[in-house]
Chains A and B, each alone.
Chain A
Amino acid sequence: MTPAAPTVQRTTRASRAGAVGASVLLAALLALPVTGEAGLMRMIVELIALLVLAQMWNLLAGYAGLVSIGQQAYIGLGGYGLIVLADDLGVNPFLAVPLAGLAAVAFAVPTAALVFRFRGGYFAVGTWAVAEVFRLLIANTTVLGRGTGRTLKAVFPLARETRELVTYFLALAVGLAALAAVYLYLRSRRGVGLMAVRDSEPASESLGVDVFGTKLLVYLIAAFGTGTTGALIYLNLLRISPDAAFSINWTAYTIFIVVIGGLGTLEGPIVGTLAFFLLRELLADYGAWYMILLGVLAVLTMMRYPQGLWGLVAERWDLHFFPVRRRVRFSEPNEVATR
């Protein structure tokens, strides 16, 4: 009897069970508007927005090693992109959401040309400085409302229920697309290259991985995802100002979510987003203490448990809902014994 060829395992029991669970959850989310709980729907839009921001930042920092502190640039550009496209250019406001993501990419290309000159910590400060440049440029532009900002008027003719319903489904679509895109990207050939770059730049380069191209692609994907989410956020809020849209707090929330949830996994940002919302509900009355607690938790996580909440779970029970690694399985032991 010839030994069985080793097989490459790309799913786990958890991922198959998770797919069933996710389908049930998705069905429940799709059915939610029937109950007409507007408050809950708005909260889910917000939750999905933060989840997508976290997934995008995780892709940057957890996989490509690009620690950006300037992702608020793309939230602001996406938000303003939505208003310019919908109010000034007459584009359908819902269609304008992904188009605003493309507008963010258009700004991300020259930005990358500048900030990619920095490495490591100075890359972080560089991205932050560029985000400030965008904020100040918009705050000095009269047609964009200068420091006071603008209001999205294109949705005024719509009934409020219609707008909220479409926004909700759009958020579901954006969230699902972002998760699927990141998952499929990481499972693809390019994704393997990306993880090789994360583990060792010189080694992956010597094996033929295009390090610069890989990082640039991730940066542009993250700009698109973040810009689209920025447009979604301001489709929900309707009122934008440079200080709020380009606030470093967006990036602070995102970083705390990813670090506490688990950097470098797809499950981590999901767990982190849920933990973030839970803490926020519990500590709603404590103001600045909430941010202090998040900061302390993130620092302690980074020091003691760098794999985050999800990392602890995955390590303890070998649980992977989104397996992006390839595991080689050799023939079963009993077959070896009978040989």
Chain B
Amino acid sequence: MAWLDTVVQGILLGGLYALFATGLSLIFGVMRLVNLAHGDFSILAAFLAVLAVRALEVNPLVALALVVPVMAVVGYALQALVLNRLLGRGILPAVLVTFGFSVIIQNGLLQALSADSQRLNPGGIETASLALGAGLAVGWFSLLTFAIAVLLLGALHLVIAGSSLGRAFRATSDDGKTAELMGIDNRHLYALAMALSLAIVAIAGVFLGIRTTFTFASGPDRLLFAFEAVIIGGLGSLWGTLVGGVVLGVAQTVGAKLSPGWGVLTGHLVFLAVLLLRPAGLFAVSRRVDS
């Protein structure tokens, strides 16, 4: 029964990883950009939530209403003012600039808020659990995280498959030049994609901060987990990302149960095994932004 419990915890953890992975996958799909500061932006969002909770004395889940729009604006500005100016110069400048942002955000958080670890307290839900019988119990908060991940992926699926914005995303992903000829403003669209990406990863960051403690240096691991979930699931597949997150989550909880130091490492090794055996991922699709 203990093993079943471990696997269930891993599956639910996978929902959180899918939240981290979705934004990374989205901007790669739309503009082939890999944001190396993706994880650091999620931690920045979590720190903003800490500040909001302190200043306004609200529940961190309420603080989301403030943090998510702020991060969306940050995302739009990042793309419009910085990354759009690097278009047409290959991938190297954008990768290095986002790496620069990663270092700037980490050290900025260290300078502004010290190296102490932080945690967001939502007032009890993080420890409450639901008994499923036979000794199996799942945390309400883990369930909530997973449900929100599924809902967000579903909503994103609807947006990409059905809305005019989604059509523009897909058109730009397929052929940016032709999309531009059809009247799509690629630069605005890229900025919208980055805004959406950082809004989603802000939710992920705040949920992470409720689930566990974090420091200014917690970002890079989040980027790696998001990246691994994307690759395990298969590039460009939204639901694949969820499966990738779940595979990674289960690998980590099972590994940690085998030996305490082996959790994260087991996740990495499962990722490498998938890369070796199924380099296209478990659910690869040909189009990069697909649903």
Contact = CB atoms under 8 A, between A and B. Distances in A.
B279 A117 contact: yes
A121 B94 contact: yes
Given A121-B95, A133-B268, A303-B97, A69 B36 contact: yes
B261 interface: yes
Given A117-B275, A121-B28, A129-B268, A299 B107 contact: no
Contact of B227 (A120, A125, A306): A125
A204 to B, nearest CB: 15
A9 B34 CA distance: 41
Given A129-B228, A129-B268, A120 B34 contact: yes
A294 B108 CA distance: 12
Interface in B221-274: 223-224, 227-228, 231, 259, 261-262, 264-265, 268-269, 271-272
Given A129-B224, A289-B111, A299 B101 contact: yes
Contacts of B28: 121-122
Contacts of A218: none
Interface stretch (A87-95, A135-143, A223-231, A321-329): A135-143
A48 to B, nearest CB: 24
Interface in B71-106: 82, 85-86, 89-97, 99-101, 103-104, 106
A130 B89 CA distance: 27
Nearest to A263: B92
Interface in A236-268: 248, 252, 255-256, 259, 263
B228 A302 contact: no
Nearest to B110: A288
A287 interface: yes
Contact of B107 (A130, A140, A288, A298): A288
A67 interface: yes
B272 A67 contact: no
A159 to B, nearest CB: 39
B220 A248 contact: yes
A124 B272 contact: no
A97 interface: no
Size bin of chain B's contact surface: 35 or more
A129 to B, nearest CB: 5
Given A288-B107, A306-B89, A129 B95 contact: no
A61 interface: yes
Interface in B205-223: 220, 223
A298 B228 contact: no
Contacts of B104: 291-292, 295-296, 299
Nearest to B111: A288
B34 A303 contact: no
A128 interface: yes
A76 interface: no
Interface in A96-119: 114, 117
Per DSSP, chain B at the interface is helix
B86 A124 contact: no
A140 B269 CA distance: 14
Interface string B48-84: 0000000000000000000000000000000000100
A65 interface: yes
B26 interface: no
A294 B95 contact: no
B85 A122 contact: no
Nearest to A120: B91
A132 to B, nearest CB: 6
A182 B269 CA distance: 34
Contacts of B106: 291
B279 A67 contact: no
A306 B228 contact: no
Interface string B36-48: 1000000000000
B267 to A, nearest CB: 10
Nearest to B276: A114
Contact of B33 (A114, A121, A252, A295): A121
B32 interface: yes
Given A114-B272, A292-B111, A299-B82, A136 B228 contact: no
A124 B261 contact: no
B265 A140 contact: yes
Contacts of A295: 100-101, 103-104, 107
A132 B224 contact: yes
Nearest to B264: A136
Interface string A295-311: 11011001100100000
A295 B220 CA distance: 16
Contacts of A292: 103-104, 107-108, 111
Given A291-B103, A298-B100, A125 B111 contact: no
Contacts of B86: 302-303
Contact of B275 (A61, A114, A137, A256): A114
Nearest to B98: A121
Contacts of B259: 140
B231 A122 contact: yes
A122 B235 CA distance: 11
Contacts of A136: 261, 264-265, 268
23 contacts: A69-B36, A120-B91, A121-B34, A121-B36, A122-B231, A124-B95, A125-B36, A128-B223, A129-B224, A130-B272, A133-B272, A136-B265, A139-B261, A289-B111, A294-B103, A295-B100, A296-B104, A298-B96, A298-B100, A299-B82, A299-B97, A299-B104, A302-B100
Interface of A: 61, 65, 67, 69, 114, 117, 120-122, 124-126, 128-130, 132-133, 136-137, 139-140, 248, 252, 255-256, 259, 263, 287-289, 291-292, 294-296, 298-299, 302-303, 306
